[in-house]
Chains A and B, each alone.
Chain A
């Protein structure tokens, strides 16, 4: 058999066998294998994508969380500042009110004192007038008896007066 002259028997069997094997493999081997490989690749891709999206979702959530935290922190700070302000205001107000009240009370007390004082002065005046009238009466009664006695009596009277 020549080395470079193809033998038709070999060709016949080769064509037959190759065709059969080709169709068998296509139907029962390459078809399933390739489709399963494809499906596996798809599922791996899907899993990777799912993981990726979960990761972004997660980071998004985390960012939202952070934002929320930031917000609440700011709110808390605001609240604190507000309270501090209100407290100060209240204290201030109380201060003002208290000082006004005390001033009012002071005025009232002063007025009362003044009134009392006036009343007292008036009373003294009354008494002095009464006393003076009394003294004058006594003097007048004793004037004629003795000059010296008169004088001492006036002195006494005056002493009394001073004591009062």
Chain B
């Protein structure tokens, strides 16, 4: 229930910044163009929340931005290695050591090199950027959580052998057994499933933890980790590599000379081999996109319900508060749905990975 309180706080705190006190007419004020006095842009707002960034935005009250600064790690030939906290950029307003966050252009939102006046230097590209961004930071936190849960749990297993599980152990053990008995064994087969178990379990709990953390609106939750294509891509590539390197002869034979397929599909134009070869890559690609799109969409929808409040609030403050009731109800409903989706997506990714591992070794099924 804590997140509901957090949500309410978020709504109350964020409200003044975005409209209810600022009628539309405000934007027609004679502000200088550069100052960007806000007209609330729902698309921007949502993207800001689901995109990666160099700081972890917590809340904005009035004009005060509260965010967790994160380490920026940059390398350039000229300046060598630069490590500093993202708070140096003052929420993207300032430049530091010739670096600044690009406000527009090709590299919008990313760190670029700037001259003394803060203008992007054209034609030299970006510095090598290995910053611990919000996504990376959230991912590291989730991994820490996973390590802190499972390593002590393993010790518990070792210390009390042949005992029934107790406490948190009995919450997680059915999930481990589920991954083993309902995902790994049916997909891979009895003889070979064991060597895939660590990977499947790691992937499952990594995705699940990040999906669930993503639903919680305050740090360390709320980051869009499994809705980041780089993260899901790495997971999918890992599945691809495991599939490829554990595959046996039958797998390659199936790809280049699929049995039971008419010869004219293979010669003179190798249509089937081409399709099968493509399939090697589309399978993990679909894994990557499925998880990414599902989680991203979930974040979009949940944020949209929040954004609706501000859109209506811009028109009329009564409408804003009126809609907020409905929005929060939908938000709660979506949150529950997203919890379900978190489990389903973790399950689907793991199940499909296990199926691919199983398919790479045909005789186990024959």
- A-side interface residues toward B, CB under 8 Å? 1, 3-15, 17-18, 21-22, 24-26, 28-34, 36-37, 39-40, 43-44
Contacts and interface: CB of A to CB of B under 8 A. Distances in A.
B202 A22 contact: yes
Interface of B: 47, 50-53, 108-110, 129-133, 135-136, 139-140, 143, 146-147, 150-151, 153-155, 157-158, 161-163, 173, 176-177, 180, 194, 197-199, 201-202, 206, 228-231, 233-235, 238, 296
A21 to B, nearest CB: 5
Contacts of A13: 130, 132, 136, 139-140
A14 B139 contact: yes
B140 A29 contact: no
B11 to A, nearest CB: 25
29 contacts: A1-B51, A1-B53, A1-B110, A3-B229, A3-B296, A5-B229, A6-B230, A6-B233, A9-B129, A10-B133, A10-B135, A13-B130, A13-B132, A13-B140, A14-B231, A14-B234, A17-B136, A17-B143, A18-B206, A22-B199, A30-B154, A30-B198, A30-B201, A31-B154, A32-B158, A33-B153, A34-B194, A37-B180, A40-B163
Nearest to A20: B143
A3 B51 contact: yes
A33 B157 contact: yes
A8 to B, nearest CB: 8
A101 B40 CA distance: 142
Shortest 7 CB-CB contacts between residues of A and residues of B: A6-B230, A29-B150, A10-B230, A26-B198, A36-B157, A32-B154, A30-B198
A32 B47 CA distance: 42
A37 B95 CA distance: 55
A9 B136 contact: yes
A26 B151 CA distance: 10
A146 B109 CA distance: 202
For the residues of B in contact with A, the DSSP-based class is: helix
A29 B147 CA distance: 8
B185 to A, nearest CB: 12
Given A22-B198, A30-B202, A37-B177, 17 more contacts: A1-B52, A5-B229, A10-B231, A12-B130, A14-B230, A14-B234, A18-B143, A18-B202, A18-B238, A21-B147, A22-B199, A24-B147, A26-B198, A29-B153, A31-B198, A36-B161, A37-B173
Contacts of B176: 33-34, 37
Contacts of A43: 162
B202 A21 contact: yes
A7 to B, nearest CB: 5
B230 A25 contact: no
Which of A14, A22, A34, A40 gathers the greatest number of chain B CB atoms within 10 Å? A14
A75 to B, nearest CB: 49
Contact of A25 (B150, B234, B235): B150
A23 B54 CA distance: 28
B71 to A, nearest CB: 11
Contacts, number: 125
A14 B108 CA distance: 22
B47 A14 contact: no
A78 B139 CA distance: 88
Given A1-B109, A14-B231, A25 B201 contact: yes
Contact of B52 (A10, A12, A36, A39): A10
Contacts of A34: 176, 180, 194, 197
A24 B50 contact: no
B220 to A, nearest CB: 15
A36 B146 CA distance: 19
B158 A40 contact: no
Given A25-B198, A37-B173, A7 B139 contact: no
A136 to B, nearest CB: 137
Nearest to B231: A14
Contact of B150 (A18, A33, A36, A40): A33
Which of B53, B201, B229, B230 gathers the greatest number of chain A CB atoms within 10 Å? B230
A33 B139 CA distance: 24
A33 B154 contact: yes
Given A18-B238, A22-B199, A22-B202, A29 B151 contact: yes
Contact of A14 (B109, B129, B136, B162): B136
A5 B157 CA distance: 42
Contacts of B150: 25, 28-30, 33
Contacts of B198: 22, 25-26, 30-31
Nearest to B224: A3
Contacts of B157: 32-33, 36-37
Contacts of A32: 154-155, 157-158
Given A17-B139, A30-B201, A40-B161, A25 B233 contact: no
A32 B150 CA distance: 10
